[in-house]
Structure 1
Amino acid sequence: MSWLFDTVKLNVVDEEMLQKAVEEQGPQEQAGRIAKEEGIHYNEVCQLSLDYRNIRKIDHLWQFTALTKLQLECNKISKIEGLETLINLTILNLSFNNIEVIEGLDTLVNLEDLSLFNNRISVIHNMDTLLNLKLLSLGNNCLAQLENVIYLRKFKNLCSLDLAGNLICEAENYKIFVTAYLSDLVYLDYRLLDKQTREHAYGKYQNSIEEMKHNETQEQKALEAKQGLEEELQLHRDAFVEFLNGPYLFDSMYADDPEASKLAYLPGVDVLLETYKSQLVVLCEQVFEIGLAQQGRRESEVKSFFGCSKEAVSDNQQRAAQVAADFEMTRRQWMGEMQQATDMHLLEAQVMHCSEAISLLCDSLMTLELQLVDQLEDIIKDFERNITDMVAGFVEIVQGIFAQCRDLENHHHEKLLEIAVATLERVAKNELEEDMPYDVRMLFVDKDTVINAVSASHDTHLLKIDNREDELVTRINNWMGSLMKSIQDEEVKRNRKRISEIHNYVDYVRNQLDEMQQQHEHP
């Protein structure tokens, strides 16, 4: 039989296969015909079955963003890939394939039911993001290490687990071990775990489980603390003021300044630096606090805009739906009358009247869409004006504070230069009592050398201040530009889709009218 198997053609998921599958599984008869005429939109397909197709590679699924159920069982797939955009998947079946490694599932955070039954998997891993998982089937695989099951403790929603047919099931303590470490399981290998089994399992592994729970609690606390810091930092980034709530700018100025450590040895510079640092931190924190406040205002404005836009679209859709419903009720009545008509002159009059009504319907729906376009255009213009004023006001304040930072750096530079020149004179007169490292003393071989060192330090600091200001201003302007472009693009997309919907519906009712007329002319 092997020669017969070798002759089977292996396939890759391609456009032709997908189109055929969607057509086969989509609406049939009249609804199917309308769907084909309007075009198949992959981003609206919710379920897709690609089983028994000798598929060896998953591909071309990136358009199916609304997919909630995907069936790929009974193929020749050896690698889980090409699923990154299917973030709405809740059910995924990859049973009866040749998969050896669990991978490629990181983005499927909504997955609840995963079947990998009858593959070649030897390790349970790479599933950290699937925290909504409720049902997992790994039966008939190559799992040999019973301890590997402990990995599944992180899935608190997991209630059904199938491991039957693996080597681990041959272990004497298999059922007790799995029950003990996965205490939230309800079904194991499709059998209900009773109270007696649970009590026995907990009693046998109590010490190990208690220690593991303690470690997991500590890890969870550390993880939550880390996530809290990351969320806080992201908030600061969204406000464009990250690392301005402390001495970060000051520290970066001196971290990249090779002369700073040498000049710090000069008499009185330590006090000067402390004063400079505290004053610069105050200015940075002003930018930080203003940035967070402005971010809150921008968020409110954005939320208000999308709320108004959604309300306008919803209201317009309701009015259009009512117009279409009224027309549809009348149209069905006319169609019924025309089916019964025997007088051709009367039928022609009815067809003419219905045709005029269809034209009026089209005009009404197009007028409503035009009204919505004008309304949304006004809303978008108001929003753009408001958000532009907000950003411009924030930038103006920020630039004023960064100007103060430069003034502070200039003042510090002047003071440092005075100390450096005075130190040079004392070195020349051999009046300096403090011991200096060799590289510091080399600064004072002549006046040009020491002045150049102080100026180089000054230039480094000013560049850091300028770069941080430019970064903030550039990023917030880019954010505003991207936001407005995405809003405009989405509105164009919505408008085109709506016009297409109107034309498709009008064409559909006209075709039905034409078919009715042809049936009477050629009975």
Structure 2
Amino acid sequence: MPLFIDENMLEEAIMEQASGDEEKRIRNQEGIQFNEVVQLSLIFKAIGRVDHLWGFTSLEKLELSNNLIKKIAGLDHLLNLTWLNLSFNSIEKIEGLESLRKLELLSLSNNRISVIENMDTLEKLDQFCIGNNAIGQLDDVLYLRKFKNLFSLNLSGNPASKEEHYKLFIAAYLPKVMYLDSKLLDKETKKKAYMKYQIALEKMGFEELQKAKSKEAVQNQEAIHTQNDFVNFEKFLNGCCPSESMLKDDPEEETLRSVPEMAEVMEKFESQMQELCTQIITYSSAEHHRREAEINSFISVQSAAMKDYKKKVSEMLQQNLQRMMVLLQESDPDLPKKEIISQPCNSLIEKEIHVSETEIMVKLLQISDPDLKKEKISLCTDEISQLLPSLMKMECLHISQIESTIKLLEHYLSDMVGNFSETVQGIFIQCRDVDDEYYDKMRKVAVATLETVAHEETHTQDDFIMLFKDRYAVMDALETGHMNHLLKIDDRETKLLTHVNAWKVALIKGIQDKELIGNRTRITDCHRYVVHLREQLEEWQKYPHFDRYYL
């Protein structure tokens, strides 16, 4: 019969894993603090449902294998978890892992899972065990391509692992995986896998690149507009600026409002403050649209610059490959032209190029004369060597252009923020003047009311009589209210101005950081592509003849 996790089970498990008598004695004396536990083992407990783990906020390693668990749940609060073992259970679906962003090892072996899914947030995952489940097709494993740190994978015992080219498929489509089913994938296997699936891999890589670019573009737009919306002060001031909140915490507010003359002064004060707050909101809205237009203009310029840059890079790569093609064609003008189109593994290229490195390698294989082949490879190597400096020069020009655009945006936004701050400060000065005027009028009415109460005998409105028989209590209430108003005005002004300046700094820094990452990625891509071409030449020159390779 399935059991549920309770405090007794947890405490017993913690005591069982205590390292020695002294640790057990200390835990018995001081009590067990769940939030200090970093490892927890609950194996062979006949657990049917995961529960009562919300207090284990420091937990890093959780062992739940060999139980009766049917559903992954109850792990939301384990934000520091890096190691999770749920093997040998009855789980049918991968779910409930969204919060485990630090997870590095996940074992789901010996369950009933048929689909690898719902793991998108596990960006740090580097070891994944899902052996002896019901993963049916090799294509089901392609989901794991998104995990860039994954180096160990166990799929043994699944129907997919019994397919003919299982090992080569995994080696090709998951190139970062070093260990498959606890065995090392050697370089020779990876080379064979790449050769077998090269065209399909390049096509898939190109499609994934396009999807990633589209997703990145949407995310960048959303991020910038979210940051821009951060300074939409209509939302920031909503519920904060209306004048009613200025009076609600005043001492004796209800009693003072019972005096008709004071009620009139208070209503006028509320009306004046509401008008000033409306001015801030209206002005903020107008400024929000101005800022939005400026940022949209920046995004447009930035997008156009990137599009032009990618076009130039594609043209440069095409020209480089075309020159190599001409060099090879000169070796034998009668060689048949093969229309082999593939996509180089480079994130800078948006469209298919008309001459690919695959076609160049085929041309090399068609050269039967070893000396001529060596000469052509040397010439191609020279062409490749000239490519990297040209790409780096283009990248420097591009990043310089982007930096100038960012500086221009920062200048415009600084002017906007400065003008906004100056205007808003002026309105807050008016708020203080209105409050000073309100305080003076209330004091005058209070003095008159005190004199009236002192000369009249009345037994009605007890709270009113008790307050206005004490001059100091009345004046103290008014003074306290006045000081509270000024503090609230100062606080709101400080928050508002701090808010807008912080927004500008965060926006510019976010854009700069994004461009820095993009710059490093593009430089890495350039180096990687050049290395890729060189490796291709080195690899293919091992094969002396086209027929021998294909036979």
Name the TM tier (shorter chain): 0.5 to 0.7
> In structure 2, how many angstroms separate the alpha carbons of the residues matched to 1:239 and 1:254?
26
Do 2:231 and 2:503's aligned partners in 1 also have CA atoms closer than 8 Å? no
What is the rounded CA distance, in whole Å, between the counterparts of 2:475 and 2:120 in structure 1? 58
CA–CA separation in structure 2 for the residues paired with 1:343 and 1:236: 67
C-alpha displacement of 1:278? 2.1
Give the superposition deviation at 1:355.
1.7
What is the aligned counterpart of 1:76 among 112, 118, 128?
A: 112
Match of 2:95 in 1: 58
Distance 1:420 1:437 in 2: 16
Letter in 2 for 1:442: M
Question: Match for 2:274 among 261, 274, 281?
Answer: 281
Residue 478 in structure 1 maps to residue 502 in structure 2 = yes
Over residues 353-380 of structure 1, what are the superposed CA-to-partner deviations in whole Å (9 max), with x where a residue is unaligned?
2222111111111111111111111111
1:389 aligned residue (391, 404, 415):
415
Question: 1:503 Cα deviation (Å)?
Answer: 1.3
Query: Match for 1:461 among 485, 489, 493?
Result: 485
Q: Does 1:257 find its partner at 2:278?
A: no
Distance 1:332 1:367 in 2: 24
Partner of 2:437: 411
SS in 1 for 2:258: coil
Structure 1: distance between partners of 2:514 and 2:240: 42
- TM-aligned CA distance change 1:269 to 1:293, over 3 Å: same
Name the counterpart of 2:209: none
- TM-score (norm. length: structure 2): 0.50
Q: Select 1:503's aligned residue among 527, 534, 540.
A: 527
The residue correspondences of 1:68-467 to structure 2 (distance < 5 A) are 76=112, 82=118, 239-242=232-235, 249-333=242-326, 334=328, 335=360, 338-341=364-367, 346-428=372-454, 430-431=455-456, 437-467=461-491
Q: How has the CA–CA distance of structure 1 residues 247 and 438 changed in structure 2, closer, same or farther, with 3 Å as cutoff?
A: farther
CA, structure 1 residues 387+410, in 2 after alignment: closer, same or farther (shift >3 Å)?
Answer: same
Report the count of equivalent residues.
316
Aligned to 2:82: none
Per the TM alignment, residue 63 of structure 1 is displaced from its structure 2 partner at its CA by 12
Whole-Å separation in 2 of the counterparts to 1:57 and 1:395: 51
Letter paired with 1:76: R
Letter in 1 for 2:536: Q
Find the counterpart in structure 1 of residue 19 from structure 2: none
- The secondary structure found in structure 2 opposite 1:268 is helix
Q: CA deviation at 1:292?
A: 0.7
Q: 1:281-326 CA distances to partner (integer Å, 9 max, x unpaired)?
A: 2211111111110000011011111111010000000010011112
Q: 1:424 to 1:394 in 2, by over 3 A?
A: same
**Aligned equivalents of 1:247, 1:354: Cα separation in 2:** 69
CA distance in 2, matches of 1:450, 1:63: 58
CA contact (8 A) 2:384 2:530 kept: yes
Residues 310-359 of structure 1: CA deviation (Å, up to 9, x unaligned): 10000000010011112123334435665455665554443332222111
Name the residue aligned to 2:513.
489
Kept in 2, the 8 Å contact 1:245–1:285? The answer is: no
SS in 1 for 2:298: helix
Report Cα offsets for 1:455-490 as digits up to 9, x if no partner: 111122223322322332233233223222221221
Query: 1:124-162 CA distances to partner (integer Å, 9 max, x unpaired)?
Result: xxxxxxxxxxxxxxxxxxxxxxxxxxxxxxxxxxxxxxx
Shift of 1:262: 1.8
Deviation string 1:375-409 (CA, Å, 9 cap, x unpaired) is: 11111111111112212211221111011101100
Identify if the C-alpha distance between structure 1 residues 247 and 512 changes in structure 2 by more than 3 Å, giving closer, same or farther. closer
Partners of 1:239 and 1:295 within 8 A in 2: yes
- CA spacing shift, 1:451–1:258, aligned 2, 3 Å: closer
Which residue identity is paired with 2:112?
K
User: Cα gap change, 1:365/1:254 in structure 2, threshold over 3 Å: closer, same or farther?
Assistant: same
Alignment partners' CA distance in 1, 2:426 and 2:527: 55
CA distances 1:14-52 after superposition (whole Å, capped 9, x unpaired): xxxxxxxxxxxxxxxxxxxxxxxxxxxxxxxxxxxxxxx
Task: Classify the secondary structure of the residue corresponding to 2:234.
Answer: coil
Q: Is the 8 A contact 1:245 1:284 kept in 2?
A: no
Cα distance change of structure 1 residues 480 and 258 upon mapping to structure 2, 3 Å threshold: same
Alpha-carbon distance, 1:265 to partner: 2.6
Q: Alpha-carbon deviation of 1:264?
A: 1.7
In structure 2, the CA distance between the partners of 1:441 and 1:319, relative to structure 1 (3 Å rule), is same
The CA deviation at 1:83 is 6.2
1: CA distance, partners of 2:484 / 2:117: 48
Question: For the residues of structure 2 that align with 1:79 and 1:507, how far apart are their CA atoms?
Answer: 36
CA distance in 1, matches of 2:471, 2:380: 98
Change (3 A) 1:347 1:78: closer
Is the 8 Å Cα contact of residues 97 and 119 (structure 2) preserved in structure 1? no
Normalised TM-score (structure 1): 0.53
Give 1:415 shift.
1.2
Amino acid at match of 2:257: A
Which letter does structure 2 place at the counterpart of 1:462? Answer: L
SS of alignment partner, residue 276 of structure 1: helix
The 1:78–1:477 alpha-carbon spacing in structure 2 relative to 1, beyond 3 Å, is farther
Q: Considering only aligned residues, what root-mean-square deviation do their CA atoms show, in Å? A: 3.9
Instruction: Give the Cα–Cα distance (whole angstroms) in 2 for the partners of residues 506 and 342 of structure 1.
Output: 26
Contact 2:237–2:281, Cα closer than 8 Å, also in 1 = yes
Shift of 1:520: 5.0
**Alignment partners' CA distance in 2, 1:495 and 1:235:** 24
Bigger shift: residues 240-249 or 371-380:
240-249
Instruction: Compute the displacement of 1:491 (Å).
Output: 0.9
Q: Identity of aligned pairs, percent?
A: 37
Aligned to 1:241, the other structure's residue is in SS state helix
Structure 1 residues 253 and 310: CA distance shift in structure 2, 3 A: same
1:85 to partner: Cα distance: 6.0
Q: Secondary structure in 1 aligned to 2:532?
A: helix
Given residue 385 of structure 2, which amino acid in structure 1 is its aligned partner? S
Give 1:77 shift. Answer: 5.9
Please give the alpha-carbon distance, in whole angstroms, between the structure 1 residues aligned to 2:309 and 2:492.
Answer: 46
SS for the counterpart of 2:233 is coil
Gaps of 5+ in 1: 1-5, 7-52, 65-71, 87-95, 98-233
User: Conserved in 1, the CA contact under 8 Å of 2:298 and 2:409?
Assistant: yes
